[in-house]
Structure 1
Amino acid sequence: MRGFLASSIGVTCAAALALPLTLPSSGARAVTPATQSPAQRSAESVPGSTQSLPLISFGSDRSQGGGASREQGLHQREVKPFSLVGVIWDNPDDELNGSVQVRTRASGTGTWTAWQPVETHNHEHAADPDAEERASGRIRGSTAPLWVGDSDGVEIRVRGEAAEQRSDPALHRGEAAQHSGDAVEHRASAGSPAAAGQALPAGLRLELVDPGAEPPPQGSRPKGAPEALTAETAAASAVNADLAPLGADAIPPLSKKKTESDLIAARGGPEEAAGKARPYVGPRPRIITRKGWGANEKLREKKFAYTRTVKAAFVHHSASGNNYRCSQAGSVLRSIYRYHVKSSGWRDFGYNFAVDKCGNIYEGRAGGVAKPVLGAHTLGFNTNSTGIAVLGSFGYSNPPAAAVNAIARLTAWKLGLYGANPRGSTYLRSGGGNLYTKGKNVRLHVISGHRDGFATECPGIRLYKKLGKARSTSARLQGR
């Protein structure tokens, strides 16, 4: 374990140098990008696209001065095919206080949907205020993305809301810091014009994302033909090379016994090797890799960023809606990934892992599934934590049992690698947010909901209420 942790403690390293010192598993073969043939390093086509359309004013509110518009949008129009929508704006510190609604037309049918709401508060899923990613100058404000399926027409309306009409998101939480006894100490100030209800944020644009075609399944190549991987794809795969062969579509599951023995071997030492100290770790679940869901590795930043350890897991919902089939999960992930990077300006996919409604587990942000990869999932608490997003919206819909079970299986393994008890609590230092001041040492569940660290409705009250079951199942899988 010492070598495993030493490879990723507090560093940001070039992809070509980020070869893992992780847990060995049977059948895995460590291959570096340098060992590939020129054919294997040939360029891949870039899948997907984004249409970015500026919104127009539907009127002005003269009482606010300067003719500032409180309603913007686009009337029905035909566009190139897309499957996911979102709205972005110039300043990430501005909030879109109001409502966003969209209608879309299913491709080739002429049938328009009813108006659908888009979750407007997405800034809490982001890099910490002082993080290098936040200071890149590329970050934009953004709504949550909404999956609408294959569409070729769109209509949108965005309406501002007066400050007195808005409610504190923490009031929707009810359980704010109930497990820690810490009172809500801090509320974000309403310093910007948008926060004061004077106008909508500047630079509103509608983002229409096409996820691109599904990648060919592994094994579909002619027999003996080498797989062509770009250097970026090879690097993203190489950090998992001790868990699966280079270019694998999935990291295979391991039994609990094999997972334990691999962890003992990684830790070293005569007592552990003799089997005198068995670790509390769950069996490694099957994890679909970034290559498996078709991530275009040319979109993200080349470097990987790591934190020191993993003390907690934050559970989220993607707020992208439940209207997808599990066979479409790769398309949903590619769309969210493109939206996070190209539209919102993040360095990579925000979450460390994703789970679909059928319980499939996916690798999220690049850097290695067993490593403490620094994500952008819980504003203020990305350091020493991992983020898991269930694809869907669970404010009014119950999460499928398969998804809750997947959270338990994933956390039993991932937290077990770092000695964390899923039933326990831990302390994380706040990097700043609307619930805890910067520098506050906060006691949190080892498996927490997003709302435990930030005043937000995420992961939806229906999913949040299932976290107790996830904790107990995860602990049982660890052998506790």
Structure 2
Amino acid sequence: MRGFLASSIGVTCAAALALPLTLPTASHAAPSPTREAVPGSTQSLALDPLETSPGSTSTRAAGAPQEQGLTRRDVRPFSLVGVVWDDPDAQLHGNVQVRTRTTNTTRWSTWQDVETHNDDAPDLDTPERAAGGLHGATAPLWVGDSDGVEVRVKAEEPEAERAARPATLPKGLRLELVDPGEEPPQGSRAEGADTGVIPALDKKQTEDELIQARGGKSAAAGSRPFIGPRPRIITRKGWGANEKLRERKLGYTKTVKAAFIHHSASGNNYRCSQAPSVIRSIYRYHVKSSGWRDIGYNFLVDKCGNIYEGRAGGVAKPVMGAHTLGFNTNSTGIAVLGTFGSSKPRAAAVKAIARLTAWKLGLYGANPRGSTYLKSGGSNLYRKGKNVRLKVISGHRDGFATECPGRRLYNKLGSARSSSAHLQGR
């Protein structure tokens, strides 16, 4: 296993495990991609004003909601949808609904809601945000193989503002239709560092690796570090990331003090075998549609409990993500693929959160049952510069006013904290 740690993949080599103690916050150039680009595409369609129903007033009349959308139309194949607009700081107050036609059929879905408040984003005053090119965006919705689409967007002012002004929508609304491309070759998912999977280690192996990476030798049982066994992780190569899409620079912070748990809000209508396609779609949506440097999450988990590497830079390193606006520094973001406001997450996914956090937080000495302080970079809950006390394993909603990670998943975080601490030996 020491051979794996010294391998060219570099994600869990001894040097990488030592880096959390010394890694500077400056960005560094990423290594050159090692696989061919995975096919895929994004169709961007400008939305049009929609006619109102008979007997109603104009959608632009004072006090009446503004409506935009697209009528049913044929399009190139896609599997994920979202709506974006020009100003990344503008909010879409209202609702977005889509219906789609399954590829090569005449079968149309019912109307599906798209989550309008997508609160995953790069922090203010960071190079990723300052570079420009960011857009406002809804959460993405996975719809499966489709070749027809219809969308309607209806504005609605917040309750306190309804009497003061008419409802409006953000400028530059566009429907984004994402084709994730073909699945990676099956051989890329076999076990091993060169085949797209970082294999699991048992607890003693994980402890020994960390001790040796820190320059020590195998220690007695009473002085071993608190860290959970390293779980099996499917790498970016394993899920078929097109490394030519993302920005080549990698951003790092100093440490990892907390993990924020999210749901992707992309719906639950996927098979676990489709999870790599879902992730490739979210990756493309974050980069090509939202304008981020890479996928926002550091890790993703599917409903079967499989764990995936997210943002590039090394799974053992403190990679700066774009997952919790205001608290991306010194934290890691873990998204469970699905929507969990009313749907219960599977036990396998909650166990995967525990396994992943026990290992990742253990690399940095963080207690999953504990609390920590993070300095806010500015959010709708905490002003910029405020030191905020948060649980080491927090939900997205703890740092930002949002429904994420959904009520049903949020209610499982207590169990995940206990399991994670137990895996660390606490």
Q: What is the TM-score normalised by the length of structure 1?
A: 0.80
Q: What secondary structure sits across from 1:349 in the alignment? A: coil
* % identical equivalent positions: 70
Whole-angstrom distance in 2 between the partners of 1:154 and 1:440: 44
Partners of 2:122 and 2:161 lie apart in 1 by: 25
Tell me whether 1:370 sits opposite 2:339 in the alignment. no
- How many pairs were matched up? 404
Which residue of 2 is the match for residue 15 of structure 1? Answer: 30
Offset of 1:4 from its aligned partner? 2.6
SS at match of 1:102: strand
- What is the SS of the residue equivalent to 1:53? strand
**Superposed CA offset, 1:379-413 (max 9, x none):** 00000000000000000000000000000000000
- Pairing 1:12-411 to 2, within 5 Å after superposition: 12-16=27-31, 44-59=36-51, 60-64=58-62, 70-122=66-118, 124-164=119-159, 198-218=167-187, 245=193, 247-269=194-216, 273=219, 277-411=223-357
Aligned equivalent of 2:8: none
Q: Distance in 2 between matches of 1:69 and 1:301?
A: 38
Does the CA-based 8 Å contact 1:141-1:344 persist in structure 2? yes
Q: Deviations over 1:88-135 (max 9, x none)?
A: 00001110000000000011121001000000001x200111111111
Q: What is the DSSP-based 3-state SS (H/G/I as helix, E as strand, rest coil) of the residue aligned with 1:133? A: helix
Distance of 1:218 and 1:200 partners within structure 2? 47
Corresponding position: 1:479 with 2:425: yes
Task: Tell me, in whole angstroms, the C-alpha distance in 2 between the residues paired with 1:466 and 1:219.
Answer: 33
Q: CA RMSD in A?
A: 2.3
AA partner of residue 289 (structure 1): T
For residues 141 and 290 of structure 1, what CA distance do their matches in structure 2 show? 26
Supply the AA of the counterpart residue of 2:25: G
Closer, same or farther: CA 340–197 of 1 in aligned 2, 3 Å: farther
Gaps of 5+ in 2: 1-14, 52-57
**SS in structure 2 at match of 1:155:** strand
2:20 is the counterpart of 1:5 = yes
Q: Is the 8 A contact 1:4 1:266 kept in 2?
A: no
Contact 2:65 2:156 in 1 (8 A): no
Displacement after TM superposition at 1:311 (Å):
0.2
1:416-455 equivalent positions in 2, closer than 5 A: 416-455=362-401
CA deviations on 1:322-378 (whole Å, 9 max, x unpaired) are 000000000000000000000000000000000000000000000000000000000
Describe the SS at the equivalent of 1:218.
Answer: helix
Deviation at 1:267, TM superposition (A): 1.3
Aligned 8 A contact 2:301 2:349 in 1: yes
Relative distance call for 1:62 and 1:275 in structure 2 (3 A) is closer
**1: distance between equivalents of 2:312 and 2:328?**
15
Whichever residue aligns with residue 113 of structure 1, its letter is: S
Amino acid at match of 2:410: Y
Give 1:3 shift.
3.5
| Partners of 1:249 and 1:289 within 8 A in 2 | yes
Cα displacement (A) at 1:8: 2.8
Report the secondary structure of 2:185's partner residue.
coil
- Aligned AA (2:23): S
After TM superposition, give the deviation of residue 269 of structure 1 in Å: 4.0
Q: Secondary structure at the match of 2:329?
A: coil
Unaligned runs of 5+ in 1: 17-32, 34-39, 168-192, 222-242
What SS is found at the alignment partner of 1:120? Answer: coil
Q: 1:317–1:393: 8 Å Cα contact kept in structure 2?
A: yes
- The 8 Å contact of residues 125 and 377 in structure 1, kept in 2 or not, is answered as yes
Give yes or no for contact 1:103–1:114 (8 Å, CA) kept in 2. Answer: yes
How far is 1:61 from its partner? 3.8
Residue 198 of structure 1 deviates from its aligned partner by 3.6
Q: Which amino acid aligns with 2:103?
A: S
Would you say the 8 A contact 1:58–1:69 is kept in 2?
no
Q: TM-score, normalised by structure 2?
A: 0.90
Checking the alignment, whether the CA contact within 8 Å between 2:377 and 2:385 is kept in structure 1 is yes
Q: Residues 199 and 150 from structure 1, CA distance in 2 versus in 1: closer, same or farther, beyond 3 angstroms? A: same
Q: Partner amino acid for 1:104?
A: T
Whole-Å separation in 1 of the counterparts to 2:188 and 2:384: 50
Structure 2 Cα separation of the partners of residues 248 and 46 of structure 1: 16
The change in CA–CA distance for 1:475 and 1:275 in structure 2 (over 3 A counts) is closer
What amino acid is the match of 1:10? T
Tell me if structure 2 keeps the 8 A contact 1:354–1:388.
yes
Contact persistence 1:9–1:309 (CA under 8 A): no
- String of CA shifts for 1:401-435, please: whole Å, max 9, x gaps: 00000000000000000000000000000000100
Mapped partners of 1:254, 1:269: distance in 2: 19
Q: Specify the SS of the correspondent of 1:265.
A: helix
Q: CA deviation at 1:10?
A: 1.3
Q: For 2:186, what is the secondary structure of its paired residue?
A: coil
> Does the CA contact (< 8 Å) of 1:160 and 1:197 recur in 2?
no
Which sits farther off after the overlay, 211-220 or 293-302? 211-220
